[in-house]
Amino acid sequence: MGLYDELAKIVGNKYCSDKDYINISYSRGLDPVLPEIIPQIVIRPESTEQVSEIVRVANKYKAPILPRGGGCGLMGGSKPISEETILVDMKRMNKILDIDEDNHCVTVQCGINWSQLNARLFDKGYYTGNMGPGSGLAAAVGGGLSHHSGGGGGCAKYGECTENCVDLEIVLGTGEVLTFGSSASQYVKKPFIRLGLGPDLMGIFLGDNGTMGIKTTATLKIYPKPPYYAGKTYLLEKDPYENSCNMVQEMMKMGWTNHLGIYDYFFTPPPSTMGITVENLIESWGDISGGVVFYVTEAYDEKILERNSEILENIAKKYSTRELGPSKEEGNITNWFYGEQGHWQIYHALFSVMGPDYFACTTEMKVPIVKFPEMLHKLDDWLTKNEEALYEVDAEAGVSHVVMLDHNSCYIGSGLSATHDEELKEGVIELWRNQFEFMLKEGMVLYMCGQIGSQVIIDSRVYSEEYYNFFKQVKKLCDPNNLISPGKFRF
């Protein structure tokens, strides 16, 4: 028996393919420029045991393995980098294993996507708080946990999805299965907490970009979904970067997530999303100049909601030019964003208006809230400096949005939009790498790294030598033959 036969025996022929016409769809991601390499085998397991057997077989043949969730990664993380790749498509592992209403936790297989999961939880009056990434209609829990994802809703109140993970089952690069979190104790019957029983070894697998093992099941916190919410959208025509930052800082002083119930706070700078105008998305925003801020606050009590809304409105009025709305058509998108689950659609809509000709080469990063205006100005300067080079490769660049995280940080959504032109690809990659390096050296922090981001981290010597050596040793321990996602972080 060869590699294919041994793998097909584990899952059945129906769920294993060595055919290019099937496997070709797994060679792609959203970016238009990183190489599109067809994996030799695509395999679709349905259980942890099958994943473990797949990894053991891969070890026998020394074949590289690439785990893939929804395939929505923006930096090449779920694109194979060699033709020998066995791509493990996790989407059949999409079961909810337990909704534990006593412990306020849900246990799932990691191939489930965020919208499937939350649709089930809504029925019971719960949600995951952090609703995963903006791509949550397709992106899987395993992909989110590999990227420290957020942005798909609830970030200001609940932080990143990894902060809400209490238990994690991993198939290591050896095929061994380990569980991290409270289940590390053989006496714990049901997972309930991440920290304890010694150091936080689960952290090694969170935000690892699929390099340390394959995530098979996860337990996430769930929260009763508050029945009341309100939100406003404001226009900031003057100094939008500074004013939006001052607005959020003042809200933070009032305990914005704990006491004011802020669930999300977004800032969309003037006029573009990686080169496309926001008017494509929200028609009424087409006529405006300046940035837009919107927030959603939620509460378990109507009176508390009223009180919080009033406080927030008073602060927002100080820093904005005028309120937009009340309807979506008039520019207030918060009802759509929160009440109609637009938080997942907004990103899909943004990226779809870029296509079919233009696609994103994203460089999103995290910065302290207090620093985001300065960083946005620096990104504008980078754009001016590289205007000619961008023109030569038919690309545009810009900042699309700033999403607040709980406590003190935010995500800056930025990057290039570029075309699928073979002759221009090298030039786009060079500029893309240049923007990554620029941002990292300004002290910004990458969360989803993928192929390109993780490699720029190493090439630009972002880590000290000692740190990188330690990281390499941890990788060796988890995956001695370097079979899982080789190439990332230059492993």
Q: Which residues bind ligand FAD (CB under 6 A)?
A: 30, 66-74, 77-78, 90, 110, 133-135, 139-140, 142-144, 146-147, 149-152, 209-210, 214-215, 347-348, 351, 448, 485
| Of 134 and 231, CB closest to ligand FAD | 134
Return the number of other C-beta atoms located less than 10 Å from residue 94's C-beta. 17
Q: How far is the CB of 89 from ligand FAD (least distance, A)?
A: 9
Evaluate the omega torsion of the peptide bond into residue 486 and state whether it is cis, within 30 degrees of 0: no
Q: How far is the CB of 218 from ligand FAD (least distance, A)?
A: 9
Q: What is the dihedral of CA 380, 459, 37, 15, to 10 degrees?
A: -100
| Of 142 and 331, CB closest to ligand FAD | 142
Q: How far is the CB of 50 from ligand FAD (least distance, A)?
A: 13
| Of 10 and 139, CB closest to ligand FAD | 139
| Of 104 and 348, CB closest to ligand FAD | 348
Closest CA to 140 of 70, 221, 66: 70
Return the number of other C-beta atoms located less than 10 Å from residue 424's C-beta. 17
Residues forming a β-bridge with 266: 294, 403
Q: How far is the CB of 351 from ligand FAD (least distance, A)?
A: 4
| Of 260 and 446, CB closest to ligand FAD | 446
Closest CA to 406 of 252, 291, 298: 252
CA distances in angstroms from 473 to 175, 467, 491, listed in the order given: 18, 10, 11
Q: How far is the CB of 382 from ligand FAD (least distance, A)?
A: 22
Three-class SS of residue 233? strand
Q: How far is the CB of 320 from ligand FAD (least distance, A)?
A: 24
Residue 75 φ/ψ, nearest 5 degrees:
-125, 25
- Strand segments (E) across 151-240: 165-171, 177-181, 214-221, 223-224, 228-236
Closest CA to 395 of 407, 387, 384, 403: 387
| Of 216 and 386, CB closest to ligand FAD | 216
Residue labelled with tokens 């930096």: 75
To the nearest 10 degrees (0 to 180), the angle between helices 450-459 and 425-441 is 60
| Of 343 and 433, CB closest to ligand FAD | 343
Q: How far is the CB of 442 from ligand FAD (least distance, A)?
A: 20
Q: How far is the CB of 149 from ligand FAD (least distance, A)?
A: 3
| Of 145 and 288, CB closest to ligand FAD | 145
Rounded Cα–Cα distance for residues 183 and 300 (Å): 32
